Structure 1
Amino acid sequence: MLSDVRCLTNPDWVFEELPRHVDRLSRERLAGAGRDQDSLRRILSTARFPAGIPLHLAPDGDDAALRPNRPLADGLTLYLEARAAAAEQLGRPADDATLQIGLELGPEPVFVAWIDAGHTTRLPGEAVPPPLGQSAAAVRHWIEARIAQEIPTADDRLETARAAARAYALRAAAPNTLRAYRASIRAWCAWSERHALPCLPARGPDIAAFLAAERGRGMSPTTLDLRRAALTYLHRLADCPVPTQDSAVAATQAGIRRDAAARGHAPKPKRAAALDVLQALLAEIDLASLAGVRDRALLLIGFIGAMRRSELAAIRIEHVTQEARGLTLRLPLSKGDRQGAGVDIALPYTGSDLCPVRAYLAWIERAGLAEGPVFRRVFVPPKRPFALTRGEPVIGSEALSDRSVARVVQHYAAKAGFDPSEFGGHSLKRGALTTGMRNQVHPSRLKRLGRHKSYAPLDHYLEHGDAFEDHPLKNLL
């Protein structure tokens, strides 16, 4: 996002002229934003300047106020173009936290680039101190840089070993968890900046107010738990006192959960795609299409293997071994595998139309895959100019995201006449375990199928039937 937006002349005149320089959608957003600085930065960070505007380099020194100096580029239409151009001209990575891009609003808008004087050059792998007491922007840059820290090449130096230890410690959390933490920390930084509150270290009452404000925006108690966990992570990473344990925070969170329950907003798990539901979803697949062959394999493997969406997205051909009785699928990483030892999942031949092995082999053969991710994007390239028809479907090289896996399930749920919002990435695993329960499979075998360390989380994945029909004492009285 733009680091700063400043008016160089009469603000009334600027705000009267600014709309004519941006695209229609941005004009509409500006009309409803007033002159709030934070809203203005957000809108202009994504606005398009159709006529193109120049990029200048701000002067060096302490007086880094936005004043045009050396021209760097011209004809830029977006903030991201300006950032890329500045990075190229200054010989810096586009994601360099010290590179700042602002916007001057005068007779004509001008992008301005400068290097944040508060940042200093450090040796590769050297620890960057946490920005305690600094701006929310500095905290955002610091946490992004820390999470993206690479493991340095070993060179028998103590500093390198310490940098490697920090990088390995960051990898203790799953990538999906880190993505969620980053989003929550960005939300906190934006909120604290908007209300001129200290961002790091934060204060307990301020975090309680933040959680209440997020609840007011419609965030669920589960999301707020994640917000709180992310702020705990931020403060522990910065090695400073953790304010999320403050009694005000705990009481606020407990009150939010109670209020949500009283209003009937208790969290509802995704519907189980049990065998009957799975068959309904499979019946909607067009096996004449490339995507249809892929989706059939995805649904059947996810069901038979009782797999999470992230596990499905991570399957690689190198991890699949074909044997006489079926396939053995090796998961190097799994949510339940805290030690990283790897997990083997058996996918047996079933001798029916619902065989996951046949579905997998059909997809691999149809797609012509020999290595890499199993489940990939299938798309049709844009039609070439003057072409009468669009091209043939193309298979991407990257794996589907875990969210794409969930969207596949929801797509066929909608086609089968179900409410797609009731389904998600957990539907396949819940469906597998629920189907096993309905067929009186012993809980120990279900626990092993679900790869759970104990029986406690197993019940969360089971979808119980009619409470009256299945009452254990119904026929005893």
Structure 2
Amino acid sequence: MSAKSLNSLAGTKAKNTIDAYRSDWDDFCDWCKYHKQTSFPATAETIVNYINDLADYAKTATIRRRVSAISENYNAAITSGIKVENPCREWIVKEALTGLTRLKGGAQTGKTPIYWDQLCDMIKCIDTKGLGGLRDKAVLLLGFMGAFRRSEISGLDVTDIKRVHQGIIVTVRQSKTDQQQMGQQVGIPCISDDDFDCVKAVEQWITAANLVDGPLFRSILKNNTASKNRLSSKSINLIVKKYVSMIGLNPDLYGAHSLRHGFATYAALNGVEERLIMRQTRHRSVEMVRRYINEADLFVNNPISAIFNKK
């Protein structure tokens, strides 16, 4: 937030409130930077797109608080004499928030995680004879194994994939948790089951699509060749929903974030240490990771299993 905005807020808001506004504003600025949008001044359309992205994983209350923080920053700027319009007052932003409440309700808890056995069932539904199937398989396995956000999957280039003896190293050039844009590297080892090996799936896609550079994941043309156009983060979301539906699950409960959520929770269920999960998910704070671990702990050493699942 600007110095003028902070000074204006300081007279009317508690310190904790100002700190929360600053954190929410920073999140919005990071999102705008990644999507090459202007945060100040921002358009109402930018605010709506930000809301839609948050809707994949954040609670309704969190989204409303973020928009409120953005609005307060603009109000404070206006009060301090900066000539700018508050985009949060536009009707399309209000409609987006109203629609969000109708769609998600007030007690939304994020996308349902996709566990490994469910992912395997989804992979089995894919027709890998066509180029689109090879791409979708690579998207799903990479999204899960790398615990990537959908924007990170969409933003990958072919040159971001480096083959080494143990597997592949994926370089994420821009990420929500990499504000300095230093780049983050994620290791994905080979696994023994070729049908579900992420490394093999990514290599098969690259080879079949004849990719040398440019976007890693692309739309497919009618002649079954890869276009030059990068697959959008929205398309990544739709791929997940498509195969979730094919195994009989409700697609409204799942999205691209289900892969990331699923990896973290599944890792916790298998006793993986917190620090190792965080290294793969690249969370800066332990708060979210511990939510996944606590979710897994509901079933680890559960007394019902001890009673009814005796060997």
Same fold (TM over 0.5): yes
Alpha carbons of structure 1 residues 264 and 399: separation in structure 2 relative to 1, 3 Å: closer
Give the C-alpha shift of residue 186 in structure 1. Answer: 7.4
Which string of whole-angstrom CA distances, capped at 9 and with x for unpartnered residues, describes residues 369-419 of structure 1?
A: 100010011132xxxxxxxxxxx2232212111111111100110111100
Residue type at the aligned position of 1:229: A
* DSSP-derived class of the 2:120 partner: helix
Give the C-alpha shift of residue 345 in structure 1. Answer: 0.7
Per the alignment, residue 259 of structure 2 pairs with 428
Matched, 1:416 2:247: yes
Alpha carbons of structure 1 residues 228 and 442: separation in structure 2 relative to 1, 3 Å: same
Alpha carbons of structure 1 residues 396 and 442: separation in structure 2 relative to 1, 3 Å: same
Give the C-alpha shift of residue 267 in structure 1. Answer: 1.5
Matched, 1:269 2:100: no
Is the CA contact 2:269–2:300 (under 8 Å) kept in the aligned structure 1? no
Alpha carbons of structure 1 residues 281 and 179: separation in structure 2 relative to 1, 3 Å: farther
Per the alignment, residue 283 of structure 1 pairs with 124
Whole-Å Cα distance in 1 between the matches of residues 200 and 277 of structure 2?
24
Query: Structure 1 residue aligned with 2:136, among 288, 295, 302?
Result: 295
Give 1:157-306 correspondences, 5 Å limit: 173-176=32-35, 178=37, 182-183=43-44, 220-235=60-75, 240=80, 265-306=106-147
Which string of whole-angstrom CA distances, capped at 9 and with x for unpartnered residues, describes residues 135-177 of structure 1?
A: xxxxxxxxxxxxxxxxxxxxxxxxxxxxxxxxxxx77843459
Residue type at the aligned position of 2:43: R
* DSSP-derived class of the 1:369 partner: coil
Is the CA contact 1:317–1:371 (under 8 Å) kept in the aligned structure 2? yes
Alpha carbons of structure 1 residues 265 and 232: separation in structure 2 relative to 1, 3 Å: closer
Per the alignment, residue 247 of structure 1 pairs with none
Which string of whole-angstrom CA distances, capped at 9 and with x for unpartnered residues, describes residues 348-381 of structure 1?
A: 111212111110110001101100010011132x
Matched, 1:456 2:296: no
Give 1:110-125 correspondences, 5 Å limit: none
Whole-Å Cα distance in 1 between the matches of residues 296 and 47 of structure 2?
42
Whole-Å Cα distance in 2 between the matches of residues 463 and 414 of structure 1?
27
Whole-Å Cα distance in 1 between the matches of residues 138 and 258 of structure 2?
16
| More displaced 10-residue stretch of structure 1: 223-232 or 410-419 | 223-232
Is the CA contact 2:123–2:137 (under 8 Å) kept in the aligned structure 1? yes
Per the alignment, residue 393 of structure 1 pairs with 224
Give the C-alpha shift of residue 227 in structure 1. Answer: 2.7
Is the CA contact 2:111–2:257 (under 8 Å) kept in the aligned structure 1? yes
* DSSP-derived class of the 1:306 partner: coil
Matched, 1:371 2:213: yes
Residue type at the aligned position of 1:450: T
TM-score (norm 2): 0.69
Is the CA contact 1:235–1:241 (under 8 Å) kept in the aligned structure 2? no
Residue type at the aligned position of 2:33: A
Whole-Å Cα distance in 2 between the matches of residues 239 and 316 of structure 1?
44
Is the CA contact 1:377–1:399 (under 8 Å) kept in the aligned structure 2? yes
The structure with more helix, counted as a fraction of residues: 2
Which string of whole-angstrom CA distances, capped at 9 and with x for unpartnered residues, describes residues 16-64 of structure 1?
A: xxxxxxxxxxxxxxxxxxxxxxxxxxxxxxxxxxxxxxxxxxxxxxxxx
Is the CA contact 2:265–2:296 (under 8 Å) kept in the aligned structure 1? no
Give 1:295-374 correspondences, 5 Å limit: 295-352=136-193, 353-374=195-216
Give 1:429-444 correspondences, 5 Å limit: 429-444=260-275
* DSSP-derived class of the 1:328 partner: strand
* DSSP-derived class of the 2:43 partner: helix
Which string of whole-angstrom CA distances, capped at 9 and with x for unpartnered residues, describes residues 39-91 of structure 1?
A: xxxxxxxxxxxxxxxxxxxxxxxxxxxxxxxxxxxxxxxxxxxxxxxxxxxxx
* DSSP-derived class of the 1:341 partner: coil
Is the CA contact 1:300–1:356 (under 8 Å) kept in the aligned structure 2? yes
Per the alignment, residue 58 of structure 1 pairs with none
Whole-Å Cα distance in 2 between the matches of residues 343 and 314 of structure 1?
13
Cα RMSD of the aligned pairs, angstroms, is: 3.3
Give 1:78-157 correspondences, 5 Å limit: none
* DSSP-derived class of the 1:464 partner: helix
Alpha carbons of structure 1 residues 370 and 185: separation in structure 2 relative to 1, 3 Å: closer
Alpha carbons of structure 1 residues 176 and 226: separation in structure 2 relative to 1, 3 Å: farther
Per the alignment, residue 18 of structure 2 pairs with none
Give the C-alpha shift of residue 424 in structure 1. Answer: 0.8
Is the CA contact 1:293–1:363 (under 8 Å) kept in the aligned structure 2? yes
Whole-Å Cα distance in 2 between the matches of residues 367 and 375 of structure 1?
10
| Greater radius of gyration (CA) | 1
Structure of greater relative contact order (alpha carbons < 8 Å, 6+ residues apart) = 2
Whole-Å Cα distance in 2 between the matches of residues 185 and 375 of structure 1?
24
Alpha carbons of structure 1 residues 367 and 474: separation in structure 2 relative to 1, 3 Å: closer
Is the CA contact 1:185–1:234 (under 8 Å) kept in the aligned structure 2? no
Identity of aligned residues (%): 27
Give the C-alpha shift of residue 449 in structure 1. Answer: 1.2
Give the C-alpha shift of residue 269 in structure 1. Answer: 1.1
Per the alignment, residue 211 of structure 1 pairs with none
Is the CA contact 2:158–2:213 (under 8 Å) kept in the aligned structure 1? yes
Whole-Å Cα distance in 2 between the matches of residues 441 and 303 of structure 1?
15
* Consecutive unaligned residues in structure 1, runs of 5 or more: 1-169, 188-218, 243-255, 381-391
